[in-house]
């Protein structure tokens, strides 16, 4: 049995930033306690942590990281740039019985006649 626990979204973000930026990330954090940093990031990113769909913006941001280490505001702005995951809703066409009658009649006329 594994003692590993599932990482929180912010822990996953920090792991990715650590591996991406290495020493630059460590210097950016400085002496700030990591728990305090995670609390701040969780608060700032709370709008993107609501559900799987909103978390897609975080995934997009992690795939489009800038060259230099982002702070939490820069990362949040990057999340906001993510393309929308919602499909635009098309209006349901109105049913016109006359058009339906003409379409059915057209189909009937294009059917080959059965031999007797």
Q: What is the DSSP string of the chain?
A: -----PPPHHHHHHHHHHHHHTHHHHHHHTTS-HHHHHHHHHHHTGGGSSSHHHHHHHHHHHHT--SS---HHHHHHHHHTSPP-SPPPPPPPPP-HHHHHHHHHHHHHHSPPPP-
Average pLDDT over residues 96-107: 85
> For the CA atoms of the chain, what is the radius of gyration?
27
Asked if residues 85 and 106 have their Cβ atoms less than 8 Å apart, the reply is no
pLDDT at 115: 61
Cβ neighbours, 10 Å, residue 88: 5
- In this structure, what are the phi and psi dihedrals at residue 41, rounded to the nearest 5 degrees? -65, -40
Residue 94 pLDDT grade (very low, low, confident, very high; cuts 50, 70, 90) = confident
What CA–CA distance (Å, rounded) separates 39 from 41?
6
Using one digit for the tens of pLDDT, what is the confidence trace for 26-85? 898 889 999 999 999 999 999 999 988 889 999 999 999 999 999 999 999 999 999 986
Using one digit for the tens of pLDDT, what is the confidence trace for 7-31? 899 999 999 999 999 999 989 888 9
* Domain residue extents for the chain: 1-84
Q: Looking at the whole model, is its pTM more than 0.95?
A: no
pLDDT at 101: 87
pLDDT at 106: 85
Compute the Cα dihedral for 52, 56, 61, 62 and give only its sign: positive
For residues 114 and 66, the model is more confident at: 66
Residue 114 pLDDT grade (very low, low, confident, very high; cuts 50, 70, 90) = low
């Amino acid at each position: 049995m594994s003692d590993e626990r599932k990482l929180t979204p912010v822990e996953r973000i920090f792991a990715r930033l650590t591996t991406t930026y290495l020493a630059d990330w460590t210097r950016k954090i400085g002496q700030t306690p990591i728990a305090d940093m995670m609390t701040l990031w969780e608060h700032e990113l709370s709008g993107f942590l609501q559900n799987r769909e909103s978390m897609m913006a975080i995934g997009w941001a992690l795939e489009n990281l800038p060259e230099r280490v982002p702070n939490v505001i820069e990362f949040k702005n990057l999340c906001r740039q993510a393309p929308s995951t919602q499909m635009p809703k098309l209006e349901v066409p109105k049913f016109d019985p006359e058009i339906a009658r003409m379409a059915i009649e057209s189909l009937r006329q294009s059917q080959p006649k059965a031999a007797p």
